[in-house]
């Protein structure tokens, strides 16, 4: 079916009958684009018109005995931040339960390893200050957004099941309930979980449906659902730890590196009232995470006109109209950042964004658009600036975008690092394996624990 073929009732590219051409003429299309550019570059939300804070309703539900709130406690060493509306959001910095990302582990493994490396370097002890265990599942939001065959009940059940495990995970290590607090690695999971938490708090019918599901699998505590006080993304942890990282761990001067930032839709456009804004970062006009880290490290942060645009991933059209995704990421992101910002690297904070922009640059060669740029997560760039091995820790060999020139410009010999890594692989083959994390800590006693 051609892109514009809607005669069979399937809509554009098979997305359903509700997807139809807008039939805008060229002038109307340009007007629509200009409107977006004019209004999204600033926080145009009327901050005086205060919207509901869903957390206030959450406290009432706990007071009425309907739920248990997984609280951020003093022992989690929280740091106070401000969100879009000026609301307080506490970000815990230790005793964290890593909620891994399926896309990171499968496509960008240097993403989570860089994060664990930082925690180790900051003196956090695995099994005491953080836990990375296997008893968790994907958030399933990929399925929901990509295919539309999921539903809110299934998303809510998965959310509650995973966060229940975070709540009880300390028991097997001799700690009390709530000792470890969940830290979400993936931006898609982050946005999905925030949205689902809001639905759960606002809908008694949804809570009742999922309570039956959770009860059957032993994932209630005293017959109640466990809901976290805050949904925390790893980039928020990196944001509040940035000054410690820069002052205690940074070994490489990156002041000559030109960086651009791609902020992820699911991190700050989805439930936007929860995203962190800081008056010291871009005047408080844009989401603070990632940019703040680059600033703390001393890198140049260069603006570009399409910073607000999606990376092109979009979930559904990456499946059904993949060439749209590929052309979008080249024309609207990579090309613009290269021509306008002359950037050495584009830095992001979400699995899908990094994967899309990193893995699809080759398509430009088919149309004589030879635009290429290193793409990596903020935690990977920060790890490089702090002396992490480009191969063993940051794992740039998994990237499809060209990282060699960037690494060399940072003063790191790519060839030397590659040679050392090849020698290390021979050691691994011989059985001499290094671990960032004790693999025994990842196991949950060979069985699922229940505390109902």
Tell how strand 375-377 and strand 181-184 pair up.
unpaired
Residue 315, domain extent: 252-427
The C-alpha angle 109, 114, 115, rounded to 5 degrees, equals 105
Q: How many distinct structural domains can be found in the chain?
A: 2
Q: Tens of pLDDT along 82-113?
A: 998 889 999 999 999 999 887 677 788 999 99
Residue 154 lies in a domain: yes
Task: Tell me the CA distances in angstroms from 9 to 20, 146, 324, 377, 392, one per residue in order.
Answer: 10, 20, 21, 40, 51
CA Rg, the chain, in Å? Answer: 22
Same domain, 361 and 265: yes
| Residues 350 and 266: beta-carbon distance below 8 Å | yes
Same domain, 206 and 127: yes
Same domain, 224 and 275: no
Q: What is the CATH number of the domain that holds 285?
A: 3.40.50.11810
- Lowest pLDDT segment from 83-92, 122-131, 148-157, 259-268: 148-157
Residue 132 lies in a domain: yes
Q: Tens of pLDDT along 170-207?
A: 999 999 999 999 999 998 899 999 999 999 999 999 99
Q: What is the CATH number of the domain that holds 101?
A: 1.20.1050.140
312 band by pLDDT with thresholds 50, 70 and 90: confident
Residue 75 lies in a domain: yes
pLDDT at 225 over 50: yes
Residue 71 lies in a domain: yes
Same domain, 102 and 184: yes
Q: Tens of pLDDT along 248-264?
A: 999 999 999 999 999 99
Same domain, 285 and 227: no
pTM for the full predicted model:
0.89
Q: DSSP letter at 449?
A: -
Number of Cβ within 10 Å of residue 284's Cβ equals: 16
Compute φ and ψ for 232, nearest 5 degrees: -115, 130
151 band by pLDDT with thresholds 50, 70 and 90: confident
pLDDT of residue 4: 42
Residue 32 lies in a domain: no
Closest by CA to 227, choosing from 317, 167, 285, 151, is: 167
How is residue 344 written in tokens? Answer: 């050495």
Closest by CA to 299, choosing from 358, 244, 357, 242, is: 242
**Cβ-based burial of 403 (10 A; exposed 0-12, middle 13-18, buried ≥19):** buried
Q: How many residues would you count in the chain? A: 452
Same domain, 384 and 353: yes
Same domain, 114 and 142: yes
Cross-strand pairs, 225: 67
């Amino acid at each position: 079916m051609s892109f514009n073929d809607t005669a069979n009732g399937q809509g554009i590219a098979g997305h359903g009958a509700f997807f139809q051409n807008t039939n805008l003429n060229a002038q109307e299309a340009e007007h629509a684009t200009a409107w977006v550019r004019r209004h999204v570059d600033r926080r145009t939300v009327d901050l005086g018109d205060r919207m509901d804070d869903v957390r206030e309703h959450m406290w009432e539900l706990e007071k009425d005995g309907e739920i248990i709130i997984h609280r951020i406690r003093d022992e989690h060493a929280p740091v106070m931040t401000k969100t879009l509306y000026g609301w307080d959001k506490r970000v815990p910095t230790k005793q964290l339960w890593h909620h891994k990302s399926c896309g990171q582990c499968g496509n960008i493994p240097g993403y989570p390893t860089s994060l664990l490396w930082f925690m180790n370097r900051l003196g956090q002890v695995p099994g005491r200050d953080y836990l990375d265990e296997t008893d968790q599942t994907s958030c399933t939001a990929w399925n929901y957004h990509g295919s539309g065959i999921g539903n809110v009940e299934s998303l809510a059940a998965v959310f509650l099941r995973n966060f229940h495990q975070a709540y009880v995970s300390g028991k097997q290590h001799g700690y009390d309930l709530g000792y470890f607090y969940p830290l979400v690695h993936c931006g898609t999971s982050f946005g999905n979980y925030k949205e689902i938490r809001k639905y759960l708090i606002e809908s008694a019918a949804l809570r009742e449906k999922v309570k039956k599901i959770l009860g059957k699998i032993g994932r209630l505590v005293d017959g109640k659902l466990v809901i976290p006080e805050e949904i925390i993304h790893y980039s928020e942890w990196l944001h509040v730890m940035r000054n410690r990282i820069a002052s205690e761990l940074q070994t490489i001067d990156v002041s000559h590196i030109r960086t651009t930032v791609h902020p992820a839709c699911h991190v700050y456009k989805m439930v936007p009232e929860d995203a962190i804004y800081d008056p010291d970062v871009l005047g408080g006009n844009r989401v603070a995470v990632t940019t703040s880290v680059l600033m703390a490290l001393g890198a140049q942060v260069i603006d570009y006109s399409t910073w607000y645009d999606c990376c092109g991933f979009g979930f559904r059209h990456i499946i059904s109209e993949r060439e749209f995704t590929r052309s979008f990421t080249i024309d609207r992101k990579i090309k613009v950042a290269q021509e306008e910002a002359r950037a050495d690297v584009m830095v992001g904070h979400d699995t899908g964004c990094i994967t899309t922009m990193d893995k699809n640059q080759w398509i430009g060669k088919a149309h004589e658009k030879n635009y290429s740029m290193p793409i990596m997560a903020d935690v990977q760039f920060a790890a490089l600036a702090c002396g992490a091995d480009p191969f063993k820790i940051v794992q740039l060999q998994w990237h499809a975008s060209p990282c060699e020139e960037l690494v060399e410009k940072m003063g790191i010999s790519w060839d030397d690092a590659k040679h050392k890594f090849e020698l290390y692989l021979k050691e691994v083959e011989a059985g001499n394996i290094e671990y960032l994390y004790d693999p025994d800590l990842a196991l949950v006693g060979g069985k699922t624990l229940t505390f109902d």
